[in-house]
């Protein structure tokens, strides 16, 4: 069932499940974009095709808030905000190791390998093999430790750039792989096949009213570890 977090005539924000595609791909698996189109068509009894524009994507194994535009005008304006880095994206990540500092800023240079669909983080441009330096993109995020359990730690992350697998590879680079993320060094997979990274909050300017909107995506209540951290943060 679709979890709608915010909806009006111009935009819709939904809570994506881990493992769900945002847009169709060659696998042919069901995609969130199609699910939302079907939801709008049924709810508003719309004849013909439904317009829907994906403003931003999150990786398939990641859950949380995804923003979609319901009109072409809204899509153009939101894309411009995204291009100008006017969105504020906050993620929650459950990691296997506690970072040395309880809060900080991470800066790396990332190089994506399209063949393996993996990104490698380097501390400096000079560390990148010659011939690959021109492909490198600077990646910046801020993090802070919110809570800890016996084995895991909850980090809140603000993305200052939007790179391929940025949070996953930057946290792995500092020795804090995300729970369940085998591709970036986690010790074991999650039962649902996803990873413990959640697009928690999204702040953007409404494309028509120009009011600032913040939408929060709850983590899955049936997941005992997420539920533990939700409670720990609420009591802090």
Please identify every residue annotated as catalytic: 59
Write out the DSSP string of 35-90: HHHHHHHHHTT--SPPP-EE-----TT-EEEEEEESSHHHHHHHHHHHHTT--EEE
Residue 194 sits at the vertex; the CA angle it makes with 162 and 75, to the nearest 5 degrees, is 40
Q: Is 37 left (phi over 0), alpha (psi -120 to 50) or beta?
A: alpha
Which residues, at least 6 apart from 207, have a Cβ–Cβ distance to it below 8 Å?
10, 11, 69, 73, 74, 77, 78, 81
Question: Which of 55, 54, 59, 53 minimizes the C-alpha distance to 20?
Answer: 59
Point out which residues pair with 153 in neighbouring strands. Answer: 95, 148
């Amino acid at each position: 069932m679709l979890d709608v977090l915010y909806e009006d005539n111009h935009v819709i924000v939904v809570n994506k499940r881990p493992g769900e595609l945002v847009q169709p791909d060659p696998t042919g698996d069901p995609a969130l974009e199609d699910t939302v189109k079907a939801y709008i068509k049924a709810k508003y009894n719309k004849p013909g095709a439904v317009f829907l524009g994906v403003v931003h994507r999150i990786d398939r194994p990641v859950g949380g808030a995804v923003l979609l535009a319901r009109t072409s005008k809204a899509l153009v304006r939101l894309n411009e905000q995204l291009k100008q880095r006017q969105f504020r994206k906050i993620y929650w990540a459950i990691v296997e190791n506690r970072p040395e500092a309880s809060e900080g800023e991470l800066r790396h240079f990332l190089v994506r390998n399209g063949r393996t669909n993996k990104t490698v983080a380097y501390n400096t441009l000079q560390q990148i093999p010659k011939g690959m330096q021109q492909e490198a993109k600077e990646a910046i995020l801020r993090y802070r430790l919110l809570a800890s359990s016996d084995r895991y730690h909850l980090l809140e992350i603000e993305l200052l750039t939007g790179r391929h697998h940025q949070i996953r590879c930057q946290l792995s680079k500092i020795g804090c792989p995300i729970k369940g993320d085998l591709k970036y060094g986690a010790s074991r997979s999650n039962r649902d096949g996803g990873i413990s990274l959640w697009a928690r909050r999204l702040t953007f300017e409404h494309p028509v009213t120009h009011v600032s909107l913040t939408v929060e995506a709850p983590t899955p209540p049936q997941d005992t570890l997420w539920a533990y951290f939700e409670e720990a943060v609420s009591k802090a």
